[in-house]
Amino acid sequence: MICEGYGKYMITLTHFNIGEDLLIIITGGEEHIGGISLLENNSFRSISKKNHKDTYVTKMIAPIIYNALHKDVLVVCGIHLDDATKEDIDTVLSNTHKCVEEFLKEI
């Protein structure tokens, strides 16, 4: 498990190897499942829960991991901050990128 940030800005990345594939779970704030993206053999699909924007993160992260590791990847994301400002969102996205960078260094 990799964590970046503090308090309401803390983002957690957990990963599981499932055979040759990779499952990435990114959470923060009030944890939940808000959206998913699957990238396999250059086929890209995303699903979002109603009124959720978490696929913004999954669509951004899945190609980074896929291109770095050349493994099929499913990214699940659930990040929620009440009344998030642009600065809040920017901080959360920055922490998400830091988690991914650390993950790619460790794997």
The pLDDT of 2-29, averaged and rounded, is 97
Q: Where are the domains of the chain?
A: 21-81
Using a pLDDT cut of 70, give the percent of the chain over it: 100
Residues 20-66: pLDDT tens digits?
999 999 999 988 999 999 999 979 999 999 999 999 999 999 999 99
Q: Which two tokens stand for residue 38?
A: 């699957």
Residues 58-81: pLDDT tens digits?
999 999 999 999 999 999 999 999
19 pLDDT band (50/70/90 cuts)?
very high
| pLDDT at residue 44 in the model | 97
3-state secondary structure the chain: CEEECCHHHCEEEEEEEECCEEEEEEEEECCCCCEEEEEECCEEEEEECCCCCCHHHHHHHHHHHHHHHCCCEEEEEEEECCCCCHHHHHHHHHHHHHHHHHHHHHC
| pLDDT at residue 102 in the model | 97
| pLDDT at residue 37 in the model | 98
